[in-house]
């Protein structure tokens, strides 16, 4: 069954309170959309430029648009991490390039850890401290170095849409117990993350998700174009839907590329993961899966009568005996979702 996610209800009141300071409400759909479009145009024109936090329209756009969609996106990934007990025994979070603290606030809803936020702009901190009282950061910093890393706590380094501006993780991140890396589901960022995945394995980390194995990634080694990304279904409040009517982008689903890694090994998992959407072809359906270093597809012939919809990104249990034809695993019965 496909799960849907939304941003925490408490965020809506905080967003509404913050918008009042700009003499706006959640019902001012056209004015809000104009700010979102302005920021979107800015990112398209200057993809490598820092977020213009000093601009009123940028602050409004993050509050009413990017915070909700990114929080819902993170909720889906946190749900996956919880299913693997990824956060067990972790005590401390360093959120690098925190922006409006979306990732930390969303994680805090389920795991009230100690949060240290690294953000060079002052405006996000001011907005969070004034309008989001439900979230209390341990500390906000403009920069971070290894000398500030706690040696006595199990630390999670959180990078949400901040790696895209870096060539590699900072050195101190490799000293942390756990890493949660979330990037845009673009070919460039997705394949960069696959390359980083291998470096993490070589550096002593174990991959907890989305991979079910630690062999070479077939999307990287056997293709020059593929990249791994997940799809999260998003439930929007009515005010958000009203705002979207004035925007060219619509968000019924959200995508992201991500890696969860720890120095502690996860429990063994005998499963595969769907890493593609169903492809309807003449006489059969196919869907890409990942379970090892080979690039493989589940396949079921239409003559079998199988009508199964397998969501992208879910774990599945494969039958012990499968007919393998080239890179296809032929199904004779419906697959079991885990």
* Model pLDDT for residues 164-187, shown as the tens digit of each residue: 778 899 999 999 999 999 999 999
Q: Are residues 137 and 252 in the same domain?
A: yes
Q: How many CA atoms lie within 13 A of 8 on its CB side?
A: 17
Q: Are residues 233 and 276 in the same domain?
A: no
Q: Residue 206 has what pLDDT?
A: 98
Q: Residue 164 has what pLDDT?
A: 79
Per the structure, the complete domain to which residue 118 belongs is given by 4-262
Tell me the Ramachandran region of residue 313: left when phi exceeds 0, alpha when psi lies from -120 to 50, beta otherwise.
left
Inform me whether the pLDDT recorded for 228 exceeds 90. Answer: yes
Task: Find the mean pLDDT for residues 117-124.
Answer: 97
Task: Find the mean pLDDT for residues 139-153.
Answer: 90
Q: Are residues 200 and 318 in the same domain?
A: no
Burial of 203 (0-12, 13-18, 19+ CB in 10 A): exposed
Are the C-beta atoms of residues 53 and 124 closer than 8 Å to each other? Answer: yes
Domain boundary among 227, 262, 297: 262
Domain assignment of residue 123, yes or no: yes
Q: Are residues 97 and 210 in the same domain?
A: yes
Q: Residue 47 has what pLDDT?
A: 84
Beta strands in the chain (DSSP E): 4-5, 92-96, 114-118, 139-141, 155-160, 178-183, 206-209, 230-234, 253-262, 272-274, 279-281, 284-290, 296-301, 315-317, 323-325, 328-330, 336-337
Inform me whether the pLDDT recorded for 1 exceeds 60. Answer: no
Mean pLDDT of the chain: 94
Task: Find the mean pLDDT for residues 197-222.
Answer: 96
Q: Does the N-terminal peptide bond of residue 210 adopt cis geometry, omega within 30 degrees of 0?
A: yes
Single pTM value for the model: 0.94
Inform me whether the pLDDT recorded for 103 exceeds 80. Answer: yes
Q: What is the pLDDT of residues 51-99, one digit of tens each?
A: 999 999 999 999 999 999 999 999 999 999 999 999 999 999 999 999 9
Range of 56-65, 268-277, 323-332 with top mean pLDDT: 56-65
Question: For residue 34, what is the DSSP state?
Answer: H
Tally of structural domains, the chain: 2
Q: What is the pLDDT of residues 4-19, one digit of tens each?
A: 899 888 899 999 999 9
How many Å from the N-terminal Cα to the C-terminal Cα in the chain?
A: 10
Structure tokens given for 184? 């845009």
Which CATH number characterizes residue 58's domain?
A: 3.40.50.150
Q: Are residues 168 and 280 in the same domain?
A: no
Furthest CA-CA distance within the chain: 64
Q: Are residues 149 and 23 in the same domain?
A: yes
Domain assignment of residue 276, yes or no: yes
Question: For residue 235, what is the DSSP state?
Answer: P
Q: Residue 312 has what pLDDT?
A: 92
Domain assignment of residue 226, yes or no: yes
Q: Are residues 146 and 234 in the same domain?
A: yes
Strand 279-281 and strand 284-290: pairing?
A: antiparallel
Q: Residue 153 has what pLDDT?
A: 86
Inform me whether the pLDDT recorded for 2 exceeds 70. Answer: no
Domain boundary among 199, 227, 262: 262
Q: Are residues 258 and 276 in the same domain?
A: no
Domain assignment of residue 267, yes or no: no
Domain assignment of residue 250, yes or no: yes
């Amino acid at each position: 069954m496909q799960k849907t996610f939304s941003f925490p209800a408490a965020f809506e009141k905080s967003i509404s309170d913050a918008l009042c300071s700009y003499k706006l409400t959640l019902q001012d759909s056209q004015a809000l959309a104009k700010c979102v479009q302005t920021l979107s145009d800015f990112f398209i024109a200057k993809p490598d430029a820092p977020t213009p936090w000093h601009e009123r329209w940028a602050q409004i756009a993050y509050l009413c648009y990017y915070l909700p969609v990114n929080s819902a996106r993170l909720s889906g990934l946190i749900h996956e991490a919880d299913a693997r007990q990824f956060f067990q025994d972790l005590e401390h979070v360093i959120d690098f390039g925190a922006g409006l603290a979306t990732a930390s606030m969303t994680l805090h809803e389920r795991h009230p850890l100690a949060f240290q936020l690294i953000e060079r702009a002052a405006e996000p901190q001011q907005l969070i401290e004034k309008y989001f009282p439900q979230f209390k950061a341990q500390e906000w910093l403009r920069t971070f170095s290894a000398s500030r890393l706690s040696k006595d706590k199990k630390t999670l380094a959180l990078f949400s849409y901040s790696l895209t501006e870096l060539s590699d993780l900072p050195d101190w991140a490799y000293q942390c117990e756990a890493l949660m890396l979330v990037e845009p589901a673009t070919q460039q960022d997705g394949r960069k993350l696959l390359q980083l995945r291998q470096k993490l394995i070589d550096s002593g980390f174990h991959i907890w998700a989305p991979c079910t194995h630690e062999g070479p990634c077939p999307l990287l080694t056997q293709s020059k174009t593929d990249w791994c990304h997940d799809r999260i279904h998003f439930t929007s409040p009515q005010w958000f839907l009203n705002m979207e009517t004035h925007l060219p982008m619509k968000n019924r689903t959200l995508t992201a590329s991500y890696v969860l890694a720890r120095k502690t090994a996860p429990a063994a998992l005998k499963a595969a993961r769907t890493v593609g959407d169903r492809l309807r072809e003449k006489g059969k359906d196919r869907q890409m899966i990942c379970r090892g270093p080979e690039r493989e597809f589940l396949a079921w012939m239409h003559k079998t009568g199988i009508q199964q919809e397998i969501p992208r990104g879910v774990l599945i249990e494969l039958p012990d005996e499968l007919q393998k034809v080239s890179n296809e695993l032929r199904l004779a019965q419906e697959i079991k979702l885990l």
